[in-house]
Amino acid sequence: SDKTAWDFLPAGWTTEELQTGEVVSASGQVVFRQADDSLRSVSFPADFEPITQLESARVGIITAEMERVAERETHLSPAQVRDEVAAGRMVIPANKVHLQHQLDPMCIGRASKTKVNANMGASPVSSGTDEEIEKLKWAEKWGADTVMDLSTGGDIDGCRKALIENSNVPIGTVPIYSMIIGRKLYDLNMEIILESLQHQAAQGVDYFTIHAGVLHEHLQYVKERLIGIVSRGGSLLAKWMIDHDDENPMYTGWEQICDVMREYDVTFSIGDGLRPGGLADATDQAQLAELCTLGELTERAWRKGVQVMVEGPGHVPLDQIEYNMKLQRTICHGAPFYVLGPLVTDIFPGYDHITSCIGATSAGYHGASMLCYVTPKEHLGLPKKDDVKQGCVAYKIAAHSADVALGIPGTRDQDDELTKARAALNWEKHFELSFDPDIARAYHDEDLDVDT
């Protein structure tokens, strides 16, 4: 697609790029100079007030958060950040409430460095809020750019609140997990959905995974699979649709959901409820049918002024990763792609931080903007503190290697400095430049001949 979010403006908006003209800032009309020096004219309803980063960007405003992002992405100017956000190719997940705590604004998009998300969360049988906060700080230390709270039990509301209050990074959630606590899935309805989203948005959650792309008509394709639906949100909604013989309420209520999201500038992470759960199911009709719906939902969210990223697989053989990334970028008009791994083989449980960071590196190189980590416990159990570290390190490797391969300015500098220290046999500097100096120091034996 050569379309961008500019092609999906709200009703009553128009825009054009001007050859010549003057900068204008008036009620219902702006002309602003873009980072590439061109002029863009935008007209909109006279009473419009921007709330989200996308809306600010559309009317030419460089927000404080965009300024901060440009400081952190040293190769980008504030105007470039604004233009990427306006085009829908970049998101700044920064809930207005979370900004009042300790959130340090960051961005996700192809123009910026590749980001890493770490999952955590309390469950009914293990780990409480204190342990989750400890994992949060640990994940931040090891380079996580965002953290998802996937709590499914315990003090789920308190844990979420504590994570938001203590985090410097954006917090994402999968709100359906808490919508079904204390009630039957069957009883889920639009009122409950909106109330729950409103509650979490008011708490300060920065992005929501919402599995609105799984449609009733897609479910027929799942029968062909080896492992059906592995997304928890996707399978809950599939069951709801079957039990009610009705369409996915997240899909039918999308515009109402957008209204809640916009109020706090919560960013969408549109979930891929039909992501493949094994190599055999990758790039199948179920996945592709849902991807088309994800593209439609992207357009609809942009028309409501809400920031969007889109989630992706999962389990994908290496030869299919490049075209999967390119397909998503085409169908979803460049909206940032947020992928889970993908794992490139299924037979190494216990090592899936490695099997998946291979896929993640390729994904980052070919089109993904954020990589959701996988820990050694994937498929086996819940991650403990060291698993969080192992997952973060593997994914920092993937993200950094992709950025080096993409030639993002400055990304290889530290590699080159370390190479020079290695050449000079300057061990102390070698350790200091290492991502994990303590491990490098511990592994260093006196018997090493660096020239071997």
Q: Which residues in the 47-66 window bind a second copy by CB under 8 A?
A: none
Residue 323 found at the interface with a second copy (CB under 8 A): no
Work out whether 227 is an interface residue with a second copy (CB under 8 A). yes
Q: Which of 2, 37, 191, 319 binds a second copy (CB under 8 A)?
A: 319
| Tokens linked to 214 | 């799984």
Residue 451 binding a second copy, by CB under 8 A: yes
Helix axes 190-203, 156-166, angle to 10 degrees: 40
Asked if residue 215 lies in contact with residue 247, where contact means CB atoms within 8 angstroms, the answer is: yes
CA atoms of 391 and 422, how far apart (whole Å): 26
Q: Which stretch binds a second copy (CB under 8 A): 44-52, 200-208, 304-312, 395-403?
A: 395-403
Which one of residues 77, 166, 330, 345 is an interface residue with a second copy (CB under 8 A)?
A: 345
Sites for a second copy among residues 29-48 (CB under 8 A): none
Per CB under 8 A, which region of 65-73, 118-126, 181-189, 214-222 contacts a second copy? 118-126
- 317: contact with a second copy by CB under 8 A: yes
Half-sphere exposure of residue 109, counting CA atoms within 13 Å on the CB side? 29
Decide whether 199 or 232 has the Cβ nearer to a second copy. 232
- DSSP lists the bridge partners of residue 269 as 209, 309
Our finding on whether 326 is near a second copy (CB under 8 A) is no
- Residue 430 near a second copy by CB under 8 A: yes
Site for a second copy contains 340 (CB under 8 A): no
Tell me whether residue 86 or residue 174 sits nearer to a second copy (CB atom): 174
Asked whether position 348 contacts a second copy by CB under 8 A, the answer is: yes
125 lines the binding site for a second copy (CB under 8 A): yes
CA angle 238, 242, 248 (to 5 degrees): 55
Task: Give the helix ranges, DSSP H, for 59-189.
Answer: 64-72, 78-87, 129-141, 156-166, 176-179
The 8-class DSSP code of residue 6 comes to G
Would you state the structure tokens that stand for residue 20, as one six-digit string? Answer: 């010549």
Q: How far is the CB of 84 from a second copy (least distance, A)?
A: 22
Our finding on whether 180 is near a second copy (CB under 8 A) is: no
Strand order in the sheet with 29-33: 14-18, 39-43, 29-33, 24-26
For a second copy, the closer CB: 51 or 150: 150
CA-nearest of 231, 324, 312, 303 to 270 is: 312
Tell which positions 134-153 bind a second copy, by CB under 8 A. 150, 152
Binding positions for a second copy, 403-422, rule CB under 8 A? 404-407, 412, 414-416, 418-420, 422
For a second copy, the binding residue among 278, 285, 330, 429 (CB under 8 A) is: 278
Residue 108, Cβ density class (10 Å: 0-12 exposed, 13-18 middle, ≥19 buried): buried
